[in-house]
Structure 1
């Protein structure tokens, strides 16, 4: 693992350099994730868990956790177990989302989906294994953080993943397939829960671990809710405009499944405008934190300007 004090400089010519920042923290996260789930017996299940967990990706969720913790005066070391757990849970959601019973996808991050390699049975169990282990990992591996803060993170993460969060959003998403009369209110509900809830806990958990005040946690929560919705709007746009090679997964799935999306309601241009407005609202929440907020500000703009 890279020691935090050996990370490359994150500034270039006196300005914050997001590319350098992301590369350094992605490398740190990759090493931590590989160490977090070592290969062991039963070989098949750990191999399947590692296959999807280490398949690449932007590592946006763990990086958001690390960034918010650092902004609030904490360290990457105290947040890394939670950051890894967040990526485990995100990976679980992707494995299960790709199953034939859900979105029935063949590719994820440019590779065959888990069930295409290991079968549906092992894919379901790999997701289950990652979900359960995520909570164990936070509880067992977090150091130099008061126990009540760790407990608060575990509770908030459980809510974000369950029926009040990700699972609830997925259920409404499945129930909405093929229906042309889905309202903007329902669409917002789906994505605030299915996508936004996990992104929100990524940001807020970093603040909790660092001992942020309730007022600051509310600001982090508002920031995260806005970037979460913007993230989904851009995702919907990319499903129309990007190529499979660029996106690393099958494109056009929303249209095939007859899903109502933000572009189908607003069009692409208006969707981009709405996403930009959400990012501006998110960044406004970080004004009190000054220069310390640079990574989170840059990550917000990265979300709305990404091409994959």
Structure 2
């Protein structure tokens, strides 16, 4: 038991240290400003620097470490990915989307500023992500930089995160296909950026095809488990702990994995996905211990 608690504490410390490093990098990329555009910069900082687990950057960095990739390149790529994730949350919280007032216990960007500023802050964070990846400081090989840009564009666009959000805007799905559509939506909306995180580390680290495939399987299962856990937290979670409203899907009449499967079956599905995710990592042996612990973190999280 003591050994297990020590492992959990060690993982949480590693996650926190990674989050701190990414926050420092983002702080430099989004400096305070004076002049007419100052409000935009403040809104960008509010959306990107207001805490969070930084799980996606953590995955990028830990995957990169499997291949002894340079930390500077990993941190810059991870920060670019976090900019896209932050922009997606800023837009997701808008009244025309999920209409949320709180994010991580703080007012959402459109509440702290206004809707127009929130839209522009999200746009600017997305643009900043590609600016970071295109810079030679991210990687000296132009081919690597282009690949990073391509992967992020695919993961965040119509065939990835944005496409998933569009499906999520539908009021309901046909009962016959609901579970398949929901799984597709979450692979795109949530899973695509998680897969991108691992792909970033693999690209920078020079992974071979077999390793790329193993990591893709890992993140596919992890991403779906993450979303099902999110749906459970929406039912079982504490608003004070989550830092955002609960029962949103039920109140909006939206289907999710819990409403379709039931709580017990949803938990069983998460456990199955977790086992599969860990199995994909077996090709890396003990080098993937921290990534394996990431699976347990997703299962056990309370916010």
CA contact (8 A) 2:214 2:283 kept: no
Q: Distance in 2 between matches of 1:77 and 1:38?
A: 19
Distance in 1 of aligned mates of 2:117 and 2:228: 32
- Partner of 2:280 in structure 1? 285
Q: Whole-Å Cα distance in 1 between the matches of residues 61 and 192 of structure 2? A: 17
Q: Displacement, 1:36?
A: 1.8
Q: What is the CA–CA distance in structure 2 between the aligned matches of 1:144 and 1:164, rounded to whole Å?
A: 26
1:22 to 1, 10, 15: 15
Query: Do the aligned partners of 1:69 and 1:209 also contact (CA within 8 Å) in 2?
Result: yes
**How far apart are 1:20 and its partner, in Å?**
2.2
Aligned residues: 297
Q: Deviations over 1:264-288 (max 9, x none)?
A: 1111111111111111111111112
- Could you tell me how far apart the structure 1 residues matched to 2:237 and 2:126 are? 30
Quote the Cα distance in structure 1 between the aligned partners of 2:138 and 2:172: 48
CA separation in 2, counterparts of 1:59 and 1:19?
12
1:32 counterpart = 2:57: no
Distance across 2 between alignment mates of 1:139 and 1:251: 39
Which position in structure 2 is the counterpart of 1:3? none
CA contact (8 A) 1:237 1:268 kept: yes
1:77-226 to structure 2, matched below 5 A, reads: 77-140=72-135, 142-175=137-170, 177-179=171-173, 181=175, 183-226=178-221
Could you give the per-residue CA deviations for residues 10-48 of structure 1, whole angstroms, max 9, x where no partner exists? x99899921221122122122112112111241000000
Provide the secondary structure at the position in 2 that maps to 1:17.
Answer: helix
**Partner residue in 2 for 1:72:** 67
CA 184–12 in structure 1, closer or farther in 2 if over 3 Å, else same: closer
Q: Distance in 1 between matches of 2:79 and 2:6?
A: 32
Alignment of structure 1 residues 289-304 onto 2, 5 Å: 289-304=284-299
Quote the Cα distance in structure 1 between the aligned partners of 2:213 and 2:145. Answer: 18
Contact 1:138 1:150 in 2 (8 A): yes
> How many angstroms does 1:291 deviate by?
1.6
Contact 1:78 1:145 in 2 (8 A): no
Give distance in 2, aligned partners of 1:110 and 1:234.
19
Report if the CA contact (8 A) 1:164-1:193 is conserved: yes
Q: Whole-Å Cα distance in 2 between the matches of residues 141 and 108 of structure 1? A: 34
1:225-264 deviation per Cα after TM superposition (whole angstroms, max 9, x unaligned) = 1100000000000001111111111111111111111111
Q: 1:57 aligns with which of 52, 56, 64?
A: 52
In the alignment, what sits opposite 1:8? none
Counterpart of 2:244 in structure 1 is 249
